[in-house]
Amino acid sequence: MGFWNATLDGCFIAMQAVTGLIGLYQVVLSVFGLFYRKRPIRHEPAKRFAVLVAAHNEEMVIAHLLENLKRMDYPKELYDVHVIADNCTDQTARIARLHGAMVSERSSEGERGKGFAIRWMLEQLAEMGTVYDAVVMFDADNLVATNFLRVMNDRLQDGKKVIQGYLDIKNPYDSWVSISMAISYWYTNRMWQLARYNLGLSCALGGTGLCIDMPLLTQLGWEATGLTEDVEFGARCVSIGIYPVWAHDARVYDEKPITLIASLRQRLRWMQGHFTCAQQYMMPLLKASVVERNLPKLDAAIYLFQPMRFLILFLTGFMLVFQATVPGSSAISAVTELLPTWFWAAINLFILIQMPLAMLLDRVNWKAYLGLPLFPFFMMTWFPVTSMALFTRHNRVWKHTVHTRSISLDDLRSR
């Protein structure tokens, strides 16, 4: 009994230490997200873009995006919109053609998912022979700020190779689930992405609103065909010393599920893909960060570890209750000496305060603050999602998230 108590105590202390260190690390870094100075556009339009829109049965939403893309504040001769009608069984391809997009139809039962569709489309672009300086990726349910290509052109001319735009939500007020997702994104955009940009670290890629230098794509190829192609490609870039940068003033609006079940299903896929990428890239990045004394690679490794941190928080909470019921256990006193209660209280309080602060700094509509009371309940749903994802991380079956919110850019602006 003494051996098992000592083992449990040791595990408890180790997990608390890891969780505490990462929590403190994120809190310290997030302070740098408080500061933002909008960058003026310094370069005239020069880069030619291939705008890729991955679409699987998106007849309900794709028209608004394509009309939106026609209104970009960028010379029309310097960008082409390519819609990938990927295994579509509806009118997506026909609607896209009616709205002036260049449509490529793909059918593959064995290789389903956005990552495979992008790889196939890049091969099609090479065969077409049109020379592009960069590729921009959107999802069919998105809306896009009209300055987006101007900002990407500016960053590319400054020598940046991979750029991630600000990820916003186009339907935050549809339900308590969508507003909770929006709060998560607003917090992440400001206190995670912008903070790392201000510190010269790598930002995390978000799957849409992404711009990639074409010569870099030609050099690397597109091998990111997992469930989270954005995390996979981002980790690969950091591993070779290419650090994606954040563009806080180039917004993309993404549709989020309005029911808890749909949200759980979507987040399960994200976490499954994240665990797979962590298994492949986390330890090599961690080792490289030590050997090279490279903070961006260390930070990228910590990012890949984040889902496991959710589980550690859950397990340590469970073990705290368990240990409290076991007579003679020293874990509680040992942990209190290592990381006192006030430490955990301060970390959690600081993070909670940052949620409305991030919203205030980015001038989010006042209605969004009504979602804050329910946000902690939404955060609790991450624990079963992350736990299930850990044990099903080898599942590579892509499942489509149905999009139905037909919102135009004008509708968005008038809210």
Contact 223, 236 (CB under 8 A): yes
Model confidence, pTM: 0.89
In this prediction, residue 336 carries a pLDDT of 47
Q: What's the one-letter identity of residue 345?
A: A
Quick check: 160 pLDDT over 90? yes
Q: Show the domains of the chain with their CATH numbers.
A: 1-415 (3.90.550.10)
Phi, psi of 253 (to 5 degrees): -110, 120
Are 155 and 119 contacting, i.e. CB atoms less than 8 angstroms apart? no
The pLDDT of 119-128, averaged and rounded, is 90
What is the three-class DSSP state of 83?
A: strand
Show the tokens assigned to 160: 């940046």
CA dist., res. 152 & res. 132, Å (int): 14
Confidence of residue 348 (pLDDT cuts 50, 70, 90): confident
Per the CB < 8 A criterion, the answer to whether 84 and 58 are in contact is: no
- Say how far apart CA 221 and CA 215 lie, in whole Å: 10
pLDDT band at 402 (very low <50, low <70, confident <90, very high): low
In this predicted structure, the answer to whether residue 367 has a pLDDT above a threshold of 80 is yes
pLDDT for res 274: 86
